[in-house]
């Protein structure tokens, strides 16, 4: 370095060009560092700072007057040489995967291990010649002649290391180019052009000895970097919201988003999706069906979607959260050409809606059950309100409503209406002799006979104690007398009770509707008079308004039946 200071330096056009490129790259790095966050920003800035270091060392090498000075600056360039592909590959991977995660001190230190090691080896090359051998010398004896480097084994090791990163970067670009469309695709094409030009320049130099102005063409190819990125930034919106916001938006969505390839392997998932599984970070390439917890459900939904879709919300987790799952094809245009690239699953959390719906369903079922119970109770109460609990015949309360409808129908259609007031003879004596339970048996048995005698033409009522009523709409007195005669015939047979067979007779008063406006009370008074007339004249008989109406005799309780008075 002492000789370098004593020699005459000259800023050649080549050195000026490299200096201009270096200044442009550093300005680009400064501008990018001040922009809003975008995927891979840290790695992008570090890669271009390394590029600036390499360009500065290359400029000094070109401007240096002696071979010794040139070799010194060539060795000084190595930290930058190693930084560029290392961090460029990291940038491409983060950008392709839309990762806005900062490098952090740990990752930065890890990625800087080889650049620092390369710098140490390069600075100590005079002691071991592992990077540049002893045959390294100027191409000719003229001042500032370019160097011909004798590449040692470490040089080739570093070259292999760098190309591993460059190939990884190319793979990231290629994978992204398959899946993206629109402006973002042009960005990746720009990255591809830059990477391939630099690889081509470097391979031409180390494999075929191609030079520019007698020097390594790789630093000069960085001029393409400025052109490509100027085009991308000015004309194609690189680092604008369009290519950046997609991942930021997806990452900040409260709803899970998962992207799978055509084979069902996971290629992208936002934090909300990872939270469903408990995974701290994405296991790229993990089949969707193997995701902890939710994987089988999501895989089945994808299968159902391929067969026509399933719009039902899916339950995920042991304490289920409910999600509506929308499946979007990543590249529908490519799919139409027979190549399906993958699918994106958007899971909209509808847990609260489903919980409310379930609560409403349970409440509705409960309400319906209660309504059914109330309806049944109402029906039972309504039945109990109009039915006699012992005989299940209609009671006196129902008679009022029934009479009004029946009489209105009879008058409206010009038909008859008759009723008979019926009383079981000597019922008190039965109760006194056999007890009230046997009396109840008799009442129920007599009610059954009364119901059968009335059939479809009459309606039976129990209006108190042993007193019954048979309403006969549409029946004149002859028809009514016939119904009562049928009842007497049925009643001739003994009734079975818990104390054995018992014969009873009945007395009845039969009346028919006469004058218009005659109400129930009037009719009952007339019937009651006929009933008491039957009892006064010996019981076991029917007394009608028409004394000439006769009922055929019947045997009752072992003796001749009565007659109609």
Give the dihedral sign, CA 375/380/386/392: positive
267: tokens are 């290629």
Asked if residue 502 and residue 419 are part of one domain, the reply reads: yes
Distance between CA atoms of residues 393 and 444, nearest Å: 9
Asked if residue 214 and residue 297 are part of one domain, the reply reads: no
In the chain, the number of structural domains is: 4
Q: Is residue 89 part of a domain?
A: yes
Domain end among 219, 245, 271: 245
Q: Is residue 26 part of a domain?
A: no
Q: What are phi and psi of 292, to 5 degrees?
A: -60, 135
122: tokens are 């390069």
Distance between CA atoms of residues 398 and 520, nearest Å: 12
Asked if residue 194 and residue 100 are part of one domain, the reply reads: yes
- Please give the pLDDT value at position 239: 53
Domain end among 321, 349, 377: 349
Q: Is residue 499 part of a domain?
A: yes
Q: CATH number, domain at 299?
A: 3.30.450.20
505: tokens are 């007779």
364: tokens are 């509705």
Tens of pLDDT, residue by residue, the chain (565 residues) = 445 655 566 677 777 877 787 787 778 777 777 766 667 778 888 888 888 888 888 888 888 888 888 888 888 888 988 888 888 888 888 877 767 677 788 888 898 999 999 899 989 998 888 888 888 888 777 777 787 888 889 988 988 888 888 888 888 878 777 766 555 666 777 778 777 887 888 788 778 878 776 667 776 665 566 566 655 654 445 555 444 556 666 777 788 888 887 777 887 788 888 887 777 777 777 888 878 877 778 888 777 776 666 677 777 766 778 788 788 776 544 444 444 567 888 888 888 888 888 889 999 999 999 998 888 888 778 777 889 999 999 999 899 889 988 888 888 888 889 999 999 999 999 999 999 999 999 999 999 999 988 887 789 999 989 999 999 998 888 889 989 998 999 999 999 999 999 999 999 999 998 766 678 899 999 999 999 999 999 999 999 865 444 443 333 333 333 334 4
3-state secondary structure 40-104: CHHHHHHHHHHHHHHHHHHHHHHHCCCHHHHHHHHHHCHHHHHHHHHHHHHHHHHHHCCCCCCCH
Domain end among 228, 245, 262: 245
Q: Is residue 14 part of a domain?
A: no
Q: What is the pTM of this model?
A: 0.45
Asked if residue 304 and residue 158 are part of one domain, the reply reads: no
Asked if residue 441 and residue 309 are part of one domain, the reply reads: no
Q: Is residue 319 part of a domain?
A: yes
Asked if residue 499 and residue 541 are part of one domain, the reply reads: yes
Q: Is residue 117 part of a domain?
A: yes
- Report the SS3 class of residue 420: strand
Asked if residue 316 and residue 465 are part of one domain, the reply reads: no
Alpha carbon separation from 252 to 231, 245, 249, 255, 324 (Å, rounded): 30, 10, 5, 9, 19
Q: Is beta strand 137-138 parallel, antiparallel or unpaired with respect to 495-497?
A: unpaired
Asked if residue 200 and residue 180 are part of one domain, the reply reads: yes
Asked if residue 230 and residue 282 are part of one domain, the reply reads: no
Asked if residue 306 and residue 231 are part of one domain, the reply reads: no
223: tokens are 């001029």
Task: List for the chain the helix, strand, coil content (%; round to 5).
Answer: 60, 15, 30
Q: Residue 122: give the domain boundaries.
A: 38-245
Distance between CA atoms of residues 151 and 59, nearest Å: 21
Asked if residue 222 and residue 124 are part of one domain, the reply reads: yes
Q: Is residue 3 part of a domain?
A: no
Asked if residue 317 and residue 230 are part of one domain, the reply reads: no
Cβ burial of 352 (10 Å; 0-12, 13-18, 19+) is exposed
DSSP code per residue over 232-292? HHHHS-TTSHHHHHHHHHHHH-SS-EEEEETTSBEEEE-HHHHHHHT-SS--TT-BGGGST
In this structure, are residues 146 and 139 in contact, taking their beta carbons and an 8 Å threshold? yes
Q: Is residue 336 part of a domain?
A: yes
């Amino acid at each position: 370095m002492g000789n370098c200071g004593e020699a005459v330096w000259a800023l050649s056009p080549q050195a000026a060009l490299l200096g201009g490129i270096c200044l442009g790259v550093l300005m680009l790095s400064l501008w990018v560092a001040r922009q809003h966050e975008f995927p891979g920003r840290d790695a992008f800035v570090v890669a271009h700072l390394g590029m600036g270091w390499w360009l500065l060392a290359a400029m000094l090498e070109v401007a240096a007057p002696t071979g010794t000075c040139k070799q010194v600056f060539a060795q000084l360039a190595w930290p930058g040489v190693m930084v560029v592909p290392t961090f460029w590959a990291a940038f491409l991977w983060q950008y392709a995967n839309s990762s806005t995660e900062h490098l952090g001190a740990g990752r930065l230190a890890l990625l800087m291990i080889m650049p620092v090691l390369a710098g140490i080896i390069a600075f100590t090359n005079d002691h071991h010649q592992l990077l540049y051998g002893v045959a390294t010398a100027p191409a000719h004896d003229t001042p500032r002649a370019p160097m011909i480097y004798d590449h040692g084994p470490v040089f080739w090791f570093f070259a292999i290391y760098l190309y591993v990163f460059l190939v990884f970067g190319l793979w990231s670009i290629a994978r992204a180019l398959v899946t993206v469309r629109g402006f973002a695709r042009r960005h990746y094409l720009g990255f591809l052009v830059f990477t391939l030009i630099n690889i081509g320049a470097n391979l031409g130099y180390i494999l075929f000895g191609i030079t520019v102005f007698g020097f390594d063409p790789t630093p000069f190819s960085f001029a393409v970097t400025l052109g490509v990125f100027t085009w991308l930034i000015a004309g194609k919106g690189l680092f604008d919201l369009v290519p950046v916001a997609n991942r930021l938006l997806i990452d900040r969505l409260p709803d899970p988003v998962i992207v799978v390839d055509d084979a069902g392997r996971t290629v992208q998932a936002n934090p909300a999706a990872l939270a469903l599984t408990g995974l701290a970070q994405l296991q790229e390439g993990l089949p969707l069906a193997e995701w902890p917890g939710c994987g089988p459900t999501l895989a089945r939904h994808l299968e159902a979607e391929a067969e026509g879709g399933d719009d039902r919300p899916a339950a995920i987790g042991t304490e289920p959260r409910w999600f509506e799952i929308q499946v979007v094809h990543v590249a529908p245009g490519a799919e139409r050409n027979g190549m399906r690239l993958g699918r994106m699953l958007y899971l909209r959390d509808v847990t609260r809606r489903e919980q409310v719906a379930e609560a409403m369903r349970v409440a509705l079922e409960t309400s319906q059950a209660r309504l059914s119970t109330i309806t049944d109770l109402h029906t039972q109460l309504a039945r109990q309100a109009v039915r006699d609990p012992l005989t299940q015949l209609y009671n006196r309360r129902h008679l009022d409503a029934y009479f009004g409808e029946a009489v209105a129908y009879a008058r409206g259609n010009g038909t008859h209406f008759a009723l008979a007031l019926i009383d079981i003879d000597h019922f008190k004596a039965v109760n006194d002799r056999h007890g009230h339970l046997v009396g109840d048996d008799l009442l129920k048995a007599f009610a059954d006979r009364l119901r059968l005698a009335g059939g479809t033409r009459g309606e039976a009522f129990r209006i108190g104690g042993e007193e019954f009523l048979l309403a006969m709409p549409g029946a004149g007195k002859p028809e009514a007398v016939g119904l009562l005669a049928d009842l007497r015939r049925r009643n001739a047979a003994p009734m079975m009770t818990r104390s054995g067979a018992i014969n009873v007779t009945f007395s009845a008063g039969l009346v028919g509707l006469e004058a218009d406006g005659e109400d129930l009370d009037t009719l009952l008074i007339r019937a009651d008079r006929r009933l008491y007339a039957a009892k006064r004249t010996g019981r076991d008989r029917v007394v009608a308004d028409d004394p000439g109406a006769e009922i055929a005799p019947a045997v009752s309780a072992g003796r001749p039946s009565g007659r109609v008075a």
